[in-house]
Amino acid sequence: MARVAVVDLELCQPDRCGTPCIRFCPVNRTRPYKAIELSPERKNRPVIHEEFCIACGICIKKCPFNALKIVNLPDEFEKMVVHRYGPNAFKLYGLPTPVRGKVVGIVGRNGIGKTTALRILAGELVPNLGDWSSKPSKERVLERFRGTELYDYFSKLYEGGIKVIHKIQYVELIPKYVKGTVNEILKRLDERKVMKDVVDALALEKILSKEVRNLSGGELQKFAIAVALERQGDVYIFDEPSSYLDIRERLRIAQAIPELLPKDCYAFVVEHDLALLDYVSNYVVIAFGEPGVYGVFSKLYATGSGINHYLEGYLPSENVRIRDEKIVFRLHEVKEDASYLEKVEVPLVEWSRMVKKLDGFKLVVEPGNAYRGEVIGILGPNGIGKTTFIKLLAGILNPDEGYTTSSAFRISYKPQYLEREIPKCSTVEECLALVNKEALDPSHWLFNEVIRRLEVDRLFKKEVRNLSGGELQKFYVAACLIKEADVYLLDEPSTHIDVEEQLAVARAIKRVTRMRKCVTFVVDHNLLLLDYAVDRAMLFTGTPGVEGFAKAPQHIGSTLNDFLKELNVTFRRDPRTGRPRMNKPGSYLDRLQKSMGTYFYAKPIEVSEEESSK
């Protein structure tokens, strides 16, 4: 049995705890070789010697800061080790298999090694094959992968025969290094002479004259994708291409990437939006393991079946269960829990026709209401007034015309843009205690339904200013949901978090809403999260940045149907998991559903991968 032990140096504080992990380790007391020792080279932090550790779990339980993790793995895994960052650091097993002329999608949790694997495939990081004490060697890498498909790939990569185009994950860094207008840069980097096609496909006409430093997050994302598609390369890597983009823009890039890539290139797409990943990928690789501890890459699966295996939590080729329970999207017409809506004569939240003018933008909202135990989704393009409507409900803004009754209730609001500096507290635990101290008690239902479900309890000792983007998002969602309120307002709660975390957020939202008989409004761009969590939805239409129109809450199916009809895109449901899947434009199902006027098909359709693309 192999072991992976990880010490989180950020959380570990031996001066404060007195190192109970060392004092209580049974191996240290009974054997000549110690399993845990303090290391001066690591700022006097403990080092766990995995070859001596017996995985008794005592050190993990004794650590007051949750800084230690030990995982038992089969011995066969050690033959697959690709990279390790250092002693008691993250360990990566295996790599995604490249396929020439095909797009390989990669899906998995945050902190599981996806970005590390992409850096290795891009040649930016030479893997050390688990030996962090010696300098990585390209010759050792080639010897390791001899006889596999990766051998030919790395041979050409290290000889300079492969040019890699890497669309980075954090596009907000681009303005620091790129100067000039969008038009100037796109013209200069148009190595494949496809600038016009790229501009048309990604709808970049309005930002061509803008300076890169003035682009918004969504505009930077499309700019980065455009530059990657223009350049001549052999390998194209797109790391989270949907970040900052609304649903309309996600559909654009879903269609643009497979259409504009060179036909004989290698391509990898890492994405948390399963609808987008399903559309752009020919194959799927699933990354699984323990976040921050170890990560494993599965074999190649056909896109549809691979995503379904991921949702079902079982990988048949590896014979591995990666999750205890399946993720199934329930059909809105036949929801088992439809009895939760105990509608009364008077809605909990009600608003008249409202008008709000703000910095040259005008929002008009139809009269509407929401009942106890109901989750209302809000969808539409960026700049159309969704956040403005949320702020009207929260009482942050006052309407120029009309009224809302929500100001008479207790309101909990999670904003779109998150602050890292919070007055009167520094750690996650201290900040959550200010919101609701009772919710931090493990026996309280909120601890199990929110704190533990979102795995925020693992972050208790971390300082808020040091959290990653996904950790910060989960912290704010948890703080919003544990607060005692009648109305919950969450603006883009799925940003920066992976698929499992998105569905955990959706479940927490539904559970708190049902248990407290409150009303929750959710603004998000992820169709799967909206479909999974929402009971009714509001559609925002109009001209972004100029004028927006908000319809009253309607059935989620009809709202999605109207929205997709405006985009001229059709979705079907997968028969195994019930998840929404986008049809290929012009395919049989696309033509059939458009002829029926059913752009969002509510019932599962049995159809093969080949038939769906005909």
pLDDT value, residue 567: 83
Q: Are residues 508 and 381 in the same domain?
A: yes
Q: Which residue has the higher pLDDT, 252 or 333?
A: 252
Structure tokens at 208: 């061509």
- Say what the pLDDT of residue 511 is: 93
Domain count along the chain: 4
Q: What is the CATH number of the domain that holds 303?
A: 3.40.50.300
275 is written with which tokens? Answer: 């609808």
Contact 490, 523 (CB under 8 A): yes
With tokens 């949790």, the residue in question is 109
Q: Find residue 604's DSSP bridge partners.
A: 573
φ/ψ of residue 589, rounded to 5: -65, -35
Report which of residues 194 and 469 the model is more confident about. Answer: 194
Domain closes at, from 321, 350, 383? 321
Q: Are the C-beta atoms of 308 and 574 separated by less than 8 Å? A: yes
What is d(CA 163, CA 461) in angstroms, rounded to the nearest whole number? 43
Measured distance CA(239)–CA(536) in Å, rounded:
32
Residues 63 and 201 in one domain: no
Q: Is residue 237 part of a domain?
A: yes
Greater confidence (9 vs 315) lies with: 315
pTM of the model: 0.84
- Determine which of 221-230, 330-339, 492-501 has the lowest per-residue pLDDT on average: 330-339
Chain centroid, CA 451 distance in Å = 18
Identify which has the larger pLDDT, 475 or 395: 475
410 and 543 housed in the same domain: yes
Question: How many Å from the N-terminal Cα to the C-terminal Cα in the chain?
Answer: 48
**Of 321, 354, 383, which residue is a domain's last?**
321
Kindly report the CATH number assigned to the domain that includes residue 57.
3.30.70.20
The CB density around residue 519, as the number of other CB atoms within 10 Å, is: 25
Q: Are 561 and 551 in contact (CB under 8 A)?
A: no
How do residues 461-472 score in pLDDT, each as one tens digit? 889 998 888 899
Would you give the distance in Å from CA 240 to the centre of its chain?
Answer: 8
pLDDT bracket for residue 79 (50, 70, 90): confident
- Of 73, 97, 125, the one marking the end of a domain is 73
Using 50, 70 and 90 to split pLDDT, how confident is the model at 537?
very high
Whether residue 496 lies inside any domain: the answer is: yes
Does position 334 have pLDDT exceeding 80, yes or no? no
Check residue 301 and give its pLDDT: 96
Tens of pLDDT, residue by residue over 577-592, are 888 888 888 888 899 9
Q: Is 326 domain-assigned?
A: no
377 vs 246: CA distance, rounded Å:
14
What is the residue type of 601?
A: Y
Domain extent, residue 242, equals 79-321
- Are residues 69 and 83 located together in one domain of the fold? no
Banded model confidence at residue 606, pLDDT cuts 50, 70, 90: low
The predicted structure's pLDDT at residue 172: 84
Under 8 Å between Cβ of 38 and 46: yes
What is the structure's pLDDT at 408? 53
**Residue 218 · residue 191 · CB < 8 Å:** no
Computed over every residue of the chain, the mean pLDDT equals 89
Q: Give the model confidence (pLDDT) of 234-276 as tens digits.
A: 999 999 898 888 888 988 999 999 999 999 999 999 998 898 9
| Same domain, residue pair 206 and 261 | yes
